[in-house]
Amino acid sequence: MITALLLAVFLGTAAAVILIIYLIDRVNRLEKIAIARDDKADSKSGDNNGDSSFLGLNSKALWDAMCGKPPEGFNSNDLVALKPRYEHVLIKHIESIFAMGVADGQAGTAKKPKATTVISTLRGSIESWLPPQHVSTIYNVAFESVTASTEDMPRLINSLDESGSLLFSRTDLTLKQPLSSVLLPQQEEELEQPALEDNGEANPEDEEILL
């Protein structure tokens, strides 16, 4: 009788342990399924937030297409229609690089800027890529401009304008005004001021003639 009772208790305990193990395993599986669904949903959400107006192109593929090297199968007329939208992306990318350089210059810590960044548009967002050499030039100009002397500014302005001109030229876009006039307007005014003052100084000989 006692043996039968002990056997029943043992079997009941074993069954309970097996049931607990099963439930734990089941919960783990359900948790993994839920996580997988959340990841998939996040991925779809990210895709939905992307800017689909660039025909699926982004990053370096978009840059290459704007430079006249589109992927196989793309219609050149479609790419021409993208130019005005891409101009916005290009300008925003340049501005973001410059802003990063200024911020790092103010902090006194130089960093290596990335060639890619995500640009927000009216239709979502797009990953933009620019040639690393131009990214470095724009960043370095911004970084140095924070502490640059008046003597250094012409060199920085020239480097920035040259880089901007090349970027717009390669993508067959028209640069309406030099980058320095937008990103370094105060420095340009300071450079022009001494010249204006010099022109305003009276010539002693002219004063004698007037007298």
Residue 45 has pLDDT above 50, yes or no: no
Backbone angles phi, psi at 70, to 5 degrees: -75, 160
| Residue of 130, 60, 144 whose CA lies nearest to 101 | 144
DSSP 3-state assignment of 74? coil
Predicted local distance difference test score (pLDDT) of residue 34: 44
129: which strand partners?
116
* Chain centroid to CA 174: 21
**Contact indicator for 174, 168 with CB cutoff of 8 Å:** yes
Is the model more confident about 157 or about 46? 157
Question: What is the mean pLDDT of the segment spanning 71-94?
Answer: 89
Q: Give residue-wise pLDDT tens across range 103-157.
A: 999 999 999 999 999 999 887 899 999 999 999 999 999 999 999 999 999 999 9
Tokens 């948790």 belong to: 31
Predicted local distance difference test score (pLDDT) of residue 2: 73
* Chain centroid to CA 74: 25
Is the model more confident about 211 or about 68? 68
- Ranges 7-11, 56-60, 77-81, most confident: 56-60
Predicted local distance difference test score (pLDDT) of residue 192: 54
Q: Give residue-wise pLDDT tens across range 156-180.
A: 999 999 999 999 999 999 999 999 9
Predicted local distance difference test score (pLDDT) of residue 55: 86
Q: How confident is the model at residue 52 (pLDDT cuts 50, 70, 90)?
A: low
50: which strand partners?
125
Query: DSSP assignment, residue 103?
Result: H
Backbone angles phi, psi at 201, to 5 degrees: -75, 140
Predicted local distance difference test score (pLDDT) of residue 201: 52
